[in-house]
Amino acid sequence: MAKLFRPQPKQLRFENGEVLFDGKIGIFPFTKQVPAKRKSKNRSARTIETKPIESITKAVTKEILINKIIPAIIEKWPEGASKCIYIQQDNAKPHILDDDPDFRAAANQNGFTMKLVQQPPNSPDTNVNDLGWFRAIQSLQLQTACKTLDDLVKAVEKSFEDLSAVTLDNVFLSLQGCMVEIMKARGHNSYKLPHMGKEALRRVAQLPHNLEVPKELAIECISYLKDHGCIDGLEMIARALGIEV
């Protein structure tokens, strides 16, 4: 489980040539350390081995979220940035809900307000990992010979460490572009992934930090959702845009 955040311009600060925050929170493998039951030619009995967690349950995901992910966010979050954070999950059954009391207690401390939101169903383009970093993981399979689970974990961790802030910035812009296209397609996935020419725009300092959604498009989507009986959250969105639902 990897957590990525798009750094704001003021968060990509440098001190003595070192990036203070690059948007990467951490990577957390679902593994456990257990003693070997039997002796083999490669190790003695009782040698500590890395094993995958066979069953990923709600208890497992909750433990990772509360004891690893949230503390990592609090530790690495840059000074001056908003502490209202949304953690996106896919729709796998082992994930907990936002109203879990233990999560709420852990997520609302030290001035932070963290909320769990679900990835829209059947929408892989709204998963920022799918848009960028997972491709690097796939290429690792051809570049790295992993004989053990420890080798695989180290290779994946290295790919995460090697992920540059520029690449991270690109994939978050792609995510925003996909969201705009999804709005244009009224929720369908029958669209082409947008291409912005990010590197060319970056070279001439014209790459936007965030993509804007045309107000007319937002109004059209609100009307479309209202006509189809989907009204949750529409009032809040309309109020922010200064329009009536």
The CB density around residue 133, as the number of other CB atoms within 10 Å, is: 20
Q: Is residue 110 part of a domain?
A: yes
For the full predicted model, state whether its pTM sits above 0.85: no
Q: How far is residue 126's CA from residue 67's CA, in Å, rounded to a whole number?
A: 26
Q: Which two tokens stand for residue 106?
A: 């852990």
Residue 84, domain member (yes or no): yes
Tell me, yes or no, whether 161 lies in a domain.
no
- CA torsion through residues 109, 112, 113, 119, sign: negative
Domain that holds residue 25: 1-118
Neighbours of 99 (CB within 10 A): 8
| Beta strand 84-89 pairing with 113-118 | parallel
Contact 62, 52 (CB under 8 A): no
Say if 149 falls within a structural domain: no
Nearest to 110 by CA among 140, 150, 70: 70
pLDDT for res 141: 60
Q: How far is CA 25 from CA 3, 206, 211, 217, in A?
A: 6, 27, 23, 33
- Is residue 28 situated within a structural domain? yes
Q: From CA 8, how far away is CA 169, in angstroms rounded?
A: 9
- Asked if residues 136 and 159 have their Cβ atoms less than 8 Å apart, the reply is yes
Contacts of 41 (CB under 8 A, 6+ apart): none
Total domains in the fold of the chain: 1
Residue 56, in any domain of the structure: yes
User: What gap in Å lies between CA 127 and CA 242, rounded to an integer?
Assistant: 29
Look at residue 106 in the predicted model and tell me its pLDDT: 96
What is the rounded CA–CA span in Å between residue 88 and residue 127? 8
Instruction: Enter the tokens of residue 115.
Output: 């909320």
Residue 11 lies in a domain: yes
Name the stretches of the chain with pLDDT < 70.
1-19, 41-43, 46, 136-142, 245
Asked if the structure places residue 37 within a domain, the reply is yes
The whole-angstrom separation of Cα 103 and Cα 66 is 6
